[in-house]
Amino acid sequence: MFEAERIAGTEFAPSRLREYLRPPFRKYEFTTPMSVAHATRILQEIVEPPRKWGRRTTAKRGYFEGKVAGSRFKIHRVAGYQNSFIPIIEGSFRRDGLATTVAVNMRLVWPVIPVWVGVIVFLAWSSVNVDSIVAGPFAVRMVVIAMTLFIYLVATVPFAIESRIAIKRLLELLRPNSDVLSS
């Protein structure tokens, strides 16, 4: 459905406005000169185990939370605040000649997706349906359309911000001149 966006060079700088309007799903691919084992080890150093019922399972304080197993990982960024739109990051390492290709998929948490899509579909349908109870006169229909756009942006904008933070951190860690101890 979505093609992976190749990240080349040292700086990640997507188009600003387009990034906020895209649906909350991302695919990225980038290469690193590290071996698969080395990249896995670096990622394991900053990933803390998943929490149980909101409580930490270990004293380890990582930048990400989740699991790194073999050449695959499923993580999300540890934020100091509650945010339902923090992307779940699923990825894999694959040896490609002298380099390792890192494939990353970002998506919303599964329970959020049907609720978000359901509200958008309901509001959009109500704004175009002739016999709508929600939207009667033209002015009310415009308000419903504006609400639909607002609900769409309520998920896409925070997701874009959080995915940008997470992919920049992954690039810092897994690129050749990254410094794990910085930030």
pLDDT digits 0-9 by tens, 44-56: 888 888 877 665 5
Give the CA-trace dihedral at 30, 36, 37, 38, to 10 degrees: -40
Strand arrangement of the beta sheet that strand 5-6 belongs to: 5-6, 25-32, 99-107, 88-96, 72-77, 64-69, 47-48
pLDDT digits (tens, 9 = 90+) for 72-108: 999 998 877 777 889 999 999 999 888 899 999 999 9
Q: Strand (E) positions, the chain?
A: 5-6, 25-32, 47-48, 64-69, 72-77, 88-96, 99-107
Q: What are phi and psi of 167, to 5 degrees?
A: -70, -35
Q: For the purposes of burial, counting CB atoms within 10 Å of the CB of 42, is it exposed (0-12), middle (13-18) or buried (19 or more)? A: middle
> Can you give the pLDDT at residue 140?
78
Nearest to 77 by CA among 181, 174, 161: 161
Amino acid at 6: R
Nearest to 89 by CA among 169, 15, 152: 169
pLDDT digits (tens, 9 = 90+) for 132-147: 666 667 777 788 889 9
Sign for the CA dihedral angle at 66, 183, 92, 106 comes to: positive
Maximal CA-CA distance, the chain: 64
pTM: 0.81
**pLDDT of residue 130 exceeding 80:** no
Contact criterion met (CB below 8 Å) for 45 and 68? no
Q: Which residues, 6+ apart, have CB-to-CB distance to 52 below 8 Å? A: none
Where on the phi/psi map is residue 82: left (φ > 0), alpha (ψ -120 to 50), or beta?
beta
